[in-house]
Chains A and B, each alone.
Chain A
């Protein structure tokens, strides 16, 4: 969560907001924020910390672990129309890659703005693809796997 905070200026500059959510109460969020997070990130986490009491929201997103009573590490990217554009769920002990999350925001925004498609490993400035009948069977002429890295 603090890694997301460290990149929050870039996330904000993309017109995106982060909503962190766990089964903890708002009071627990406050204590964690003031007692620990603010020592890792000046001012604490800069985004809202939502309280999913009882895992009700986690159930809606299919990330509530009933056996342990917690929400597992699910990340959902929602576009300005409220449509889900990307999701990723990791095992509890595995942390996320914030750079990849930011890359996905940029790729989703590019696709939304241009109607084009972004091949594997796309970053801004890299080759995109114009979907259409002309491209069928021709991707190999304009794109190769080494361009993904």
Chain B
């Protein structure tokens, strides 16, 4: 399924590092807020 503007963003669940803790996070946990989902190539890179 391709992502498209105007269509639901695909939901997912994954581990996250938040305030010193490791927790499960689901995109749908953030319903009701604007979410900026930011992919980047990797930790310790320069840009």
- B9 contacts which chain A residues (CB < 8 A)? 76, 78, 82-84
Number of residues from A at the complex interface, CB < 8 A:
64
Taken together as a complex, chains A and B put the C-alpha atoms of A74 and B42 apart, in Å, by: 13
Report how many A-B pairs have Cβ atoms within 8 Å: 167
Q: Is A111 positioned at the interface, with any CB of B under 8 Å from its CB?
A: no
Contact mask for chain A residues 5-44; partner B; CB cutoff 8 A; 1 contact, 0 none: 0000001001111111111111111111100100000000
Question: Interface on chain B toward A: helix, strand, loop, or mixed SS?
Answer: loop
Asked if residues B8 and A83 are in contact (CB atoms below 8 Å), the reply is yes
Asked if residues A79 and B34 are in contact (CB atoms below 8 Å), the reply is yes
Binding site for B on A (CB under 8 A): 1, 4, 11, 14-33, 36, 48-53, 56-58, 60-63, 68, 70-87, 92-95, 101, 105, 108-109
